[in-house]
Structures are given as C-alpha cells and as structure tokens.
C-alpha cells in the first residue's frame, strides 16, 4: 500500500519519515521546487535567513523537543532568550507583564493599578466572562497592560480587530504570569515568564531548514518536488492525484496542504463547505532581511507594537541565534510584516518595503543606512491562522467534509490551527500512532 502525502513542509516530511520507519510505502508531493514550506532558509553572501519568518526550536512537549534536537544533532547553538518589546524608545523585557519595572513611572502605575483593580472586580464577579479576545485581554490583564501593549501588538500582528477574534486558543499561547510576578515586576524584582522558551535552540548551519532536511534525509528518494496537486479523486479503492499533466496513484492520502488548496482539487464540494473555507481568515507575511556591518544589541527578537514606527510587528536577530548566520564582523536583522492577502502591503515593491524597514531601524537606533551591506525580501501567502469568531463553526464543516471523503488533515494550514513546529510534529506523531498498518 502506498500513502501519498500532499505537501512537503515540516508536517509532510515528518509524517513521511515516521511512516517510512514503520516500513510503510510513502510518496511526498510538494508543489514548490524545494521541500520545507515555511521552514525554509536561504544563505546569500554569507547571511542565512529563514524565509518563512524567524524560527526557533523550543517546546513544552519534551518528546517532540528531544526529537527536534536529535534531528539537528551537533548542528545546534543553545541560546538564552533575551526578548524585548520596543516601547516608547526603550527595550522592555518580554513578556510585557514581567518587564513592567522598565516602563515610564506613569505607565507602570497605570498598568499595576488597573491590573489590581481589575483583579478585585473579577474576583467579586463584577466583570462578565469574556466572549472575545479583546474582552479576554481586559479581563485578564486590566486596562493598562491591555492598552499599553496587548491590544496594539495583537492588532498589529493579526491585522484583525481583537473584539472580532475568538479566545478559545489563548491558553498556553499567550503568556499569563502569576499575580505575584506581575506585582514583583512592577516594583522592580526580576521575574521570568514563558519559561519553557527561556532557553532555545537553533541550527548552527543552514538556518531552520537544517531541521527539515535532517528529518527528510531517509525519505528523500520518495519526495516529488514541483508537483502541485490540482486534482484528487478516488476511483474504486485507488486515489488518482493529478497536477494537470500527470497522474499519480496511491492507496491512501494524507493532506498537509492548506485547506484553501485542497478543496479546489475535489469534485462536488458542497457550497456550504466551500463557503466555510472561503470565510476562514489568515495572514500573509513579508520578511525584510537586512545584513549590516557591526554589532547588534544581544537581543534574540523584539516585538514592535507601535504602529507609528512602521509596519513591522517583530524584529529578529538571527546572528544572535547562530554565530554562523552572518559573515565575521556582520550581523543579521529580520523584519516581519504580517498583512491581509491582497492588501496594499502585498502590492508594495521590495524596494519600498526595504526602505520602510531601514527607516524604522534608523529611528529605533538599531542600525544606520550606511551599515547596511545586504537586503532581501521574502513573501509567504499562508503564514498565520487568524481565529475569528466564526472560525470554530467553519472549520468543523470543513473537517467533517474531509473526513467523509477519507482525507485526513495534518499540519498548520491543513488543520487550520495556529500550530508551531512542535505542534505539527506532535500532530504527525499522534496521527501515525493511530494510522492502521498498510
């Protein structure tokens, strides 16, 4: 029996490897010229940048973390996280609630005062349970932390009004320090938040793509790149998978490609399911990569909530993840700009985007234009799942339909879930455990 895996990103490759290790016959069909999906990296003029946004290896899931670290083997640099939020010209420790002592005094007062008053009101049951993401932010943190950081940053990354976002996903994804830590942070006692990420790994050579390459190594002969699946049909017991010029057959199919790509491959999709799929919300991403002469502050990455500074929502410093990510004497900066598919950011030229980012970096005093020795721009259509209020209903309709067609969905945009690398590897592991032998 052959299992065809649609998509050669991290999920598809992990599935292929795990099934291969079980002696199953697999074939991975990847549309792009190379494997890796969002976990690709490009090295040019000695600078290595991840093309799907800056990636680091971390997880609460010890089995998955051990798997990822085993895959990259000795090709690993371990780093202490030093993450900041750029706030009113200063570098505030991340998570924001753990960095309150670094705020100007009036903002510190606003945050801690409203946090405590809000906490008392919640305890007394005076504030109704939140029904959307914005209400959850106010309910959990009070108006100060909400208005100084949480709402502006979240609206900048999601490009979506927080009151129109669901809150079912926040547990575990948004740091929630204990009350004591917030009070300590406000009076200047150092605390650490989101501790499972406090130490992270990154490949010394090859960027994050080194991880997917290592996972893919034993299944390389079974990967077809340049095969964009455009039709998928079951005839009798056999799947016919086409790319418009060729048809490949398989006994079973697993999809790791975005549902927005899968459904158009299928016949007789009910209009309600098609509509549910069209209604799902996601963000695209532009990465502006900048190589400079000289050093950077020893910061891992930095959130930029202030819209006035520029379009970038996050800056990462890959040469602080791996000493080999930039040539000697140079440093690397990766600016991430999320945007809605088809909006004006998508229409901006590389030159316009780069100019915008360089102006922002200069105004933040991170680097001056004369230090710049390299720039490049990368674009990803599918970057972030956005959980709008209709999400759960829409995704249920799509999943039920795909189940009825015998097409398992595994992966970030196949499940349409905000899953990190550890999440998609966990999904792949769990899927394979329950997959009957072929």
Which residues are near ligand FAD by CB under 6 A?
Answer: 6-12, 29-32, 37-39, 52-53, 55-56, 228-229, 256-258, 261, 285, 336, 382-384, 411-413, 419-422, 424
Question: Phi/psi class of residue 268: alpha, beta or left (left: φ > 0; alpha: ψ in -120 to 50)?
Answer: left
The whole-angstrom separation of Cα 125 and Cα 419 is 33
Contact 46, 293 (CB under 8 A): no
Rank residues 146 and 257 by Cβ distance to ligand FAD and give the closer one. Answer: 257
Rank residues 185 and 265 by Cβ distance to ligand FAD and give the closer one. Answer: 265
Q: Nearest distance from residue 284's CB to ligand FAD, in Å?
A: 9
Rank residues 145 and 424 by Cβ distance to ligand FAD and give the closer one. Answer: 424
Q: Nearest distance from residue 47's CB to ligand FAD, in Å?
A: 18
Q: Nearest distance from residue 341's CB to ligand FAD, in Å?
A: 14
The whole-angstrom separation of Cα 257 and Cα 296 is 37
In total, the chain counts a number of residues equal to 438
Contact 321, 202 (CB under 8 A): yes
Q: Nearest distance from residue 314's CB to ligand FAD, in Å?
A: 8
CB count within 10 Å of CB 217 equals 11
Whether residue 385 is preceded by a cis peptide bond, meaning omega within 30 degrees of 0, is no
Kindly give the interhelix angle for 179-187 and 105-123, rounded to the nearest 10 degrees.
Answer: 160
Q: Nearest distance from residue 188's CB to ligand FAD, in Å?
A: 30
Rounded to 5 degrees, φ, ψ at 116 are: -70, -45
Retrieve residue 260's tokens.
């927005």
Q: Nearest distance from residue 195's CB to ligand FAD, in Å?
A: 16
Rank residues 228 and 405 by Cβ distance to ligand FAD and give the closer one. Answer: 228
Q: Nearest distance from residue 265's CB to ligand FAD, in Å?
A: 7
The whole-angstrom separation of Cα 144 and Cα 138 is 9
Rank residues 229 and 345 by Cβ distance to ligand FAD and give the closer one. Answer: 229
Rank residues 52 and 177 by Cβ distance to ligand FAD and give the closer one. Answer: 52
Rank residues 87 and 416 by Cβ distance to ligand FAD and give the closer one. Answer: 416
Question: Phi/psi class of residue 104: alpha, beta or left (left: φ > 0; alpha: ψ in -120 to 50)?
Answer: beta
What's the Rg (C-alpha) of the chain?
Answer: 23
Rank residues 336 and 356 by Cβ distance to ligand FAD and give the closer one. Answer: 336
Q: Nearest distance from residue 20's CB to ligand FAD, in Å?
A: 17
3-class DSSP state of 217:
helix
Pairing of strands 372-386, 281-293: antiparallel
């Amino acid at each position: 029996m052959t299992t065809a895996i649609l998509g050669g990103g991290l999920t598809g490759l992990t599935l292929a490897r795990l099934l291969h290790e079980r002696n199953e016959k697999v074939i991975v069909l990847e549309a792009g010229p190379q494997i890796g999906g969002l976990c690709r990296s490009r090295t040019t003029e000695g600078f290595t940048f991840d093309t799907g946004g800056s990636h680091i290896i971390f997880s609460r899931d010890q089995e998955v973390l051990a798997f990822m670290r085993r895959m990259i083997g000795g090709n690993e640099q371990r780093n202490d996280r030093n993450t900041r939020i750029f706030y009113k010209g200063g570098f505030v420790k991340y998570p924001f609630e753990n960095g309150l002592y670094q705020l100007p005094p009036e903002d510190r007062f606003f945050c801690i005062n409203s946090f405590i008053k809000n906490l008392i009101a919640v305890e007394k049951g005076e504030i109704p349970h939140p029904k959307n993401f914005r209400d959850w932010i106010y309910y959990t943190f009070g108006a100060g932390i909400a208005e100084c950081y949480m709402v502006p940053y979240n609206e900048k990354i999601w490009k979506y009004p927080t009151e129109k976002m669901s809150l079912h996903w926040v547990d575990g994804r948004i740091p929630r320090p204990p009350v004591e830590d917030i009070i300590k942070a406000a009076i200047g006692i150092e605390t650490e938040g989101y501790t499972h990420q406090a130490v992270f790994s990154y490949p010394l050579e090859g960027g994050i793509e080194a991880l997917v390459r290592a996972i893919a190594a034993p299944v390389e002969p079974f990967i077809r790149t340049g095969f964009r699946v455009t039709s998928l049909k079951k005839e009798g017991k056999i799947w016919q998978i086409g790319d418009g010029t060729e048809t490949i057959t398989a006994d079973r199919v697993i999809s790791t490609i975005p549902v927005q790509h899968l459904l158009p491959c299928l016949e007789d999709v009910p209009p309600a399911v098609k509509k549910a799929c069209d209604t799902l919300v996601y963000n695209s991403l532009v990465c502006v990569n900048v190589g400079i002469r000289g050093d950077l502050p020893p910061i891992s990455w930095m959130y930029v909530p202030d819209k006035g500074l520029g379009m970038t929502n996050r800056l990462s410093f890959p040469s602080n993840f791996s000493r080999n990510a930039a040539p000697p004497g140079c440093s690397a900066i990766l600016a991430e700009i999320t945007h809605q598919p088809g909006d004006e950011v998508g229409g901006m030229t590389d030159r316009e985007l780069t100019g915008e980012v360089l102006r922002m970096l200069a105004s933040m005093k991170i680097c001056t234009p004369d230090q710049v020795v390299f720039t490049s721009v990368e674009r990803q259509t599918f970057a972030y799942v956005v959980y709008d209020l209709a999400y759960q209903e829409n995704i249920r309709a799509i999943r039920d339909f795909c189940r009825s067609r015998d097409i398992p969905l595994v992966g970030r945009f196949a499940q349409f879930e905000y899953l990190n690398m550890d999440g998609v590897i966990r999904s792949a592991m769990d899927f394979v455990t329950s997959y009957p032998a072929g």
